[in-house]
Structure 1
């Protein structure tokens, strides 16, 4: 991704556009949460060109099928009607990075997901493709609050996006291409050709179930290879289940989650926000990747400047977490 030239975004969706399911990571359990997410898409006028019942039976160990099967979800070539307008990832877990070992056919349309799907989203950007959205999975979409679901709909349909609010840790302002990622997954892309250009980027990180010392180890790796020093600004979303439950134990000294995140970013000379409604928490606000964004460390706001064709910068702040 060229930091000065945002990738071309796909056309905004319209009622009647088709959706394809992508199970690129862990195996799917029951269909109930998936069906609830599909009902949300149907309420927006989108049409499913896929059979959800094929997915629970498609297993290879803990993965949602063999690598070739899962990669096939991303390249539904041979479809006489062309590529679907939206590739919607079913769930996270693990497995999508394995698909990058083989050439992936560039698919048009939007790609939606987060967590393990970070590998696929960042690969898109690294190869100059647009349409990557860090946002709810189909198995989490229905549980999102109404404003978050509406934000995703607005993004897909080319409408304005509201600013997101966070807590200012380091002041200042930065403007650059927007990136968002699961920290663990993104860390394992460092040193690979699937890493987008970090120069001047606004990077939003989130994670789940990682102890503070492991987060500190990953962020130290980013510092040692010079990755954090290339950023224009950094924001932290939710770090669900990442505080050490024994923090209050006085038997030995420990660092809290907040201490780790603050200390590893305080000296970078860039604005830092925390508490953004992004990630594995109770809300996962959708973010279009690769587009211009502004991170305001003085006012505690993240603004998308241009999300796609016909869209403009949002005006009103979305609710706080």
Structure 2
């Protein structure tokens, strides 16, 4: 059981709230899915404000570090803003964290919504004791099934959410602070001030387009760093498009995950429906959760 308190939850969202959309990571290349996702937010009654610089590009980044940092600061410091929607992942959020301090306002915190590269921002925000949502971005929300879209709004609007069902690896039941994120991004936070204290944490990890040997290398780094000995449970989401051509001798993703994690003697549940492939079930960051590895369930009790 974690000895750490849950993160501060921003107030539940309600129709009419202002939600800026920013691009803190990779450059936007296609706007079809973006526009359709925008309509979903509007249909739920929200005032969605798109940054006038969202189409900026600096190579593979959505503008220079200063430009992307300014987008985040403008939204975060806007007293009317109730939550921030990230346009997409890619790469770049760690770069803007080199010169960034969250102006913590525990009386009036705001939601931050995203996944993939946004992991770095979510974990940094958690270090400031504020919860965010690991969930669909503007380029992916429209591809989610209806139940997944409903789940995102249920979390943001303060309603109870259903448990997620995966495959049990056994190992009992763990209760701790839920910390969801992308494995590759999280691995690159090891040894930095952005990495949260993982004592008593349930890690929820996913990844995409990383072949098995790279997943092996990353998990081995986690093992050698000693931090995996601190966590109380591991929830594994999708590891999509991680296969290699069949003629190459290789371990499967499942084999690598089991080889690197099964001897930790903690509850582990795999194949939970979150990650880069739809469905990407939204998960609140920094709240108490229970991982039942006997039944293969990740449960998040009501947190308001």
TM-score range, shorter chain: over 0.9
The correspondence for 1:96, drawn from 93, 101, 104, is 93
Q: 2 CA distance for matches of 1:221 and 1:201?
A: 18
**What's the secondary structure of 1:93's corresponding residue?**
coil
Structure 2 spans left out of the alignment, 5+ residues: none
**What's the secondary structure of 1:222's corresponding residue?**
helix
Write out per-residue CA displacement over residues 249-291 of structure 1, whole angstroms, 9 at most, x where no aligned residue. 3xx6421111000111111110111100010112100000100
- Work out whether residues 173 and 296 of structure 1, in 8 Å CA contact, stay in contact via their aligned partners in 2: yes
Q: 2 CA distance for matches of 1:149 and 1:279?
A: 14
- Work out whether residues 174 and 291 of structure 2, in 8 Å CA contact, stay in contact via their aligned partners in 1: yes
Indicate the residue corresponding to 1:143 in structure 2.
143
Q: 1:244 Cα deviation (Å)?
A: 2.2
Indicate the residue corresponding to 1:60 in structure 2.
58
Residues 1:296 and 2:295 aligned together: no
Count of residues paired in the alignment: 299
Indicate the residue corresponding to 1:314 in structure 2.
none
**What's the secondary structure of 2:218's corresponding residue?**
helix
- Work out whether residues 75 and 81 of structure 2, in 8 Å CA contact, stay in contact via their aligned partners in 1: no
Paired residues for 1:1-321 under 5 Å: 3-51=3-51, 54-56=53-55, 58-76=56-74, 82-106=79-103, 108-128=109-129, 130-246=130-246, 249=247, 253-307=249-303, 309=304
Q: 1:182 Cα deviation (Å)?
A: 0.6
Q: 1 CA distance for matches of 2:3 and 2:40?
A: 34
Task: Report the aligned-residue RMSD.
Answer: 1.7
Structure 1 spans left out of the alignment, 5+ residues: 310-321
Instruction: Report the TM-score, using the length of structure 1 for normalisation.
Output: 0.89
- Work out whether residues 202 and 231 of structure 2, in 8 Å CA contact, stay in contact via their aligned partners in 1: yes
Q: 2 CA distance for matches of 1:75 and 1:114?
A: 19
Write out per-residue CA displacement over residues 125-174 of structure 1, whole angstroms, 9 at most, x where no aligned residue. 1222x231100011100110000000001000000010000000133000
Q: 2 CA distance for matches of 1:124 and 1:306?
A: 21
Please list every run of at least 4 consecutive aligned residues from structure 1 whose deviation after the TM superposition is greater than 6 angstroms: none
